[in-house]
Structure 1
Amino acid sequence: MTDRIRARYLIETPASPARAAAAMAGEQSTGTFIAVPGETPEIHRRHAARVENVVELDEHDEPALPGSRGGSPFHRAEVELSWPLENVGTSLPNLLATVAGNLFELQQLSGIRLETLGLPPELSRAHPGPQFAIDGTRRIADVWERPIIGTIIKPSVGLTPEETGLLARTLSRAGLDFIKDDELMANSPHSPLEPRLAAVLAALDDAASETGRMPLYAVNITGEIDEMLANVDRVAEMGGNCVMVSVNAVGIAGLRAVRQHSALPIHAHRNGWGALTRYPLLGYSYDVWQQLWRLAGADHLHVNGLRNKFWEPDDSVLASARAVLAPINGGPPVMPVFSSAQSAEQVADTYQALGSTDLMYICGGGILAHPDGVAAGVASIRQAWDAALGGVDLDEHASTHPELATALATFRDRHDRS
């Protein structure tokens, strides 16, 4: 436990790492580029950021990023800074301004990445955290001892509300646990939120009369804050059971406002995340990112998926999922969401690597593009998870389950060609 905010960075600098660390501490607390009147010893004692540690690593001939001043070599180091809670209070936006603000623009640095963040208990307690997390989500979905299996409405854009409802009915009849809007579809002129929600809920009710089960439907309410809060109310009034927010688009204050206003699970989509993390010497880690969104109230957090269609390697995906599944800042684990070109083909490896069934396994094309139709696509995912959880070889299981066999032939061929 600590009463100070602590942040650890990987930096690169043409200066000495100790001098660069001092510049970082000054810029993000009491200092600036020159001494100013009023920066008294007492203010410095109470409010200055402290350089807690500097560990020099290696040197490079070329800078990772443009714009730094000074010649080679470029020194890499780990730097830990700390701040008194008094500087920030308990505001998440102001926390971000302190630990991830102008540091990324300092000319003393040719690379900087925020790697870890340690928060005082007082700051953590000031935020609502997840309302449903894993157990609450499982309770609403009525899914236990296996992953929650879902899909995304596809095509992502272009369907009318009525067409979306027809697709939702087909998906629900096929036995899915979870259906979500794509992040590109929120309140578009060709498919406004309210008529789309009405069409989908009517379709799910109709399907439930046959199947006896109602899937979660994460309707995308992303928008201006007042619009999101009104839509949260409307979803609840109409009988909806989940909302989705593109968290990088609405900001941490936007998500926190939704959480404070909502009595529904919040499915947090991370689109835009790559801009914050893809380059290894810029931005910040998923470990830091997911801490902040959990404090703000996310119940489900996307982590990508194994052998995905994006840039991220499998070890990074798994590290993200483990971070989401770890209790932190006094709050419970939340649900990692595996998505991005997932199909039956990655199931066994996902379970073996993660060792947990506490996840959402979301397949768009992996269900909708099954050659034998949506129901076969859903069956193939269930069969793959049955095999993984039962310790049965996937190909052996496929020999007696044609839906799984077709999925493996289809999606392994796609990976082989990519």
Structure 2
Amino acid sequence: MDRIEATYYVETPYPLADAAAVMAGEQSSGTFVAIPGETEELKMQYAARVERITELETVSQPSLSGEQLHFEKYYRGKVTVSWSVANFGTNLPVLCSTLMGNLYELRQFTGIKLVDIQLPDSYTTQFRGPKFGIRGTAELISNEAKTPLIGTIIKPSVGLTIADTADLVKKLAEAGIDFIKDDELMGSTRNSPFADRVQAVMEVLNRHQDKTGKKVMYAFNISDEMDNMLRNYETIVQAGGSCAMVSLYSAGLTAVKRIADIGQLTIHGHRNGWGMLNRHPLLGVSFSAYQKLWRLAGVDQLHVNGIRNKFWESDESVVSSIKACLTPMAGVLPALPVLSSGQWGGQAIDTYKLTQTTDYLYLAGGGIMAHPGGIGSGVSAIKQAWEAAVEGLTLAEATRKFPAVQQAVEKFGKTR
């Protein structure tokens, strides 16, 4: 039968094979003692299997609290476990409970992290996945739109009036921006109710489209309780919008899939909260596994931080996340990687060198808003920096060719 495999990086004071067997039993047909109903026939069909174990290093101190006992050694390794698809079918919440459920509480482990999931083609093809993906997102903006798409975030994050938001959107659209989004902290505030904000913003963008033929994409944050999310989604559709933003962790897998399944708007998936799922090296879930689940749910655009970001994440980790979003899955489109977090034109050169792709939604807040030449120069500087990156220019060469890039370097960073 088709099986789903999951690989974990683990730490345990017990032999790896013994600890892995406990994990497999807990996350399938077993419990802490043998029970009459767990027949050999049942286990053959539904029990998890330990497929592979790779022993790695040993350490003298546990990474996480476990049994209240002292052990001289803690063994680390990679453990791959598999389950029959018959255990959960296309039920994503049950799949998640299997892959990332009680195993984190097992006393046999002092560290456990889901590193990756291997999904058979026969499984992924049962999901629609992202309806729009990379190319579809660009085409919603313009038939001529090409990646990287340049975008920004409304700042201040919370507190702007609707009139001020609409005025800023007008300036950004006229500056040549491709994409604008609500901050994840912005839902429906007292001075900016959701429906009124959507109406005001879309009036600006619809007029801009009438003049230019370009439909600047605005990602309105619909994150809320389910009924309100559906209502917010319909508000965007009725106003002529093209994108809904959802805070993935806050809304949850089922809610996001329900929204994505409607299929009228492209879905911008904001991963705020992902740090607490990943930041510890021996706890949580890697982005490679995380993004597969959200792509199955139908998310078109996924945040991946960016090179030299303002957060904790290393460039190596960001590049790995980018490549994960673009890795093929049978029947499921790639997700558009969303680069953000302290980005300006200067990182474009290195981003292209490290990934050799322009398939990005490249978001800059301060990198556009705080550009010395104003918003128009801020947008131009990033577009020109990407042009230079594809041409193979260094950042120093880009500053000599493009005055707006030179101003950005003087404001935000140094050439190197």
Structures share a fold, TM > 0.5? yes
Aligned AA (2:130):
P
- Are 2:380 and 1:393 equivalent residues in the alignment? no
Shift of 1:69: 5.0
Runs of 4+ in 1 over 6 A off after TM superposition: none
Partner residue of 1:336?
A: 337
Extract unaligned runs of 5+ from structure 1: none
Shift of 1:372: 2.2
Is the CA contact (8 Å cut-off) linking 1:85 and 1:120 kept in structure 2? Answer: no
Q: Percent identity?
A: 47
Aligned AA (2:225):
E
Secondary structure at the aligned position of 2:241 is classed as coil
Partner residue of 1:78?
A: 78
Is the CA contact (8 Å cut-off) linking 2:127 and 2:332 kept in structure 1? Answer: no
Partner residue of 1:412?
A: 413
Is the CA contact (8 Å cut-off) linking 1:326 and 1:332 kept in structure 2? Answer: no
* Residue correspondence of structure 1 range 121-200 to structure 2 within 5 A: 121-142=121-142, 143-200=144-201
Structure 1, residues 76-127: CA drift from partner, whole Å, max 9, x if none? 0111111111111210000000011001110000000111111233432332
Structure 1, residues 51-95: CA drift from partner, whole Å, max 9, x if none? 111111111000011123541300001111111111112100000
Aligned AA (1:94):
V
Extract unaligned runs of 5+ from structure 2: none
Is the CA contact (8 Å cut-off) linking 2:128 and 2:332 kept in structure 1? Answer: no
Q: Summarize the Cα distance change of 1:260–1:145 in structure 2 as closer, same or farther, 3 Å threshold.
A: closer
Secondary structure at the aligned position of 2:164 is classed as helix
Shift of 1:331: 1.4
Is the CA contact (8 Å cut-off) linking 1:69 and 1:108 kept in structure 2? Answer: no
Aligned AA (1:61):
S
Structure 1, residues 217-254: CA drift from partner, whole Å, max 9, x if none? 11111111221122212211110111111111111111
CA distance in 1, matches of 2:127, 2:409: 44
* Residue correspondence of structure 1 range 286-325 to structure 2 within 5 A: 286-325=287-326
CA distance in 2, matches of 1:35, 1:393: 65
Partner residue of 2:31?
A: 32
Q: TM-score, normalised by structure 1?
A: 0.95
Structure 1, residues 369-409: CA drift from partner, whole Å, max 9, x if none? 11221111111111111211222333223224322111011
Shift of 1:211: 4.4
Partner residue of 2:91?
A: 91
* Residue correspondence of structure 1 range 47-62 to structure 2 within 5 A: 47-62=46-61
Q: TM-score, normalised by structure 2?
A: 0.96
Q: Which moved more, 1:113-122 or 1:82-91?
A: 113-122
* Residue correspondence of structure 1 range 192-271 to structure 2 within 5 A: 192-271=193-272
Is the CA contact (8 Å cut-off) linking 1:64 and 1:281 kept in structure 2? Answer: yes
Secondary structure at the aligned position of 1:79 is classed as strand
Is the CA contact (8 Å cut-off) linking 1:173 and 1:210 kept in structure 2? Answer: no
Structure 1, residues 330-389: CA drift from partner, whole Å, max 9, x if none? 312221111100001111111111101111111011001112211111111111112112
Aligned AA (1:12):
E
Q: Which moved more, 1:43-52 or 1:235-244?
A: 43-52
Is the CA contact (8 Å cut-off) linking 1:341 and 1:365 kept in structure 2? Answer: yes
Give the alignment's Cα RMSD to 1 decimal: 1.7
Structure 1, residues 141-164: CA drift from partner, whole Å, max 9, x if none? 225444100000001101122211
- Are 2:362 and 1:361 equivalent residues in the alignment? yes
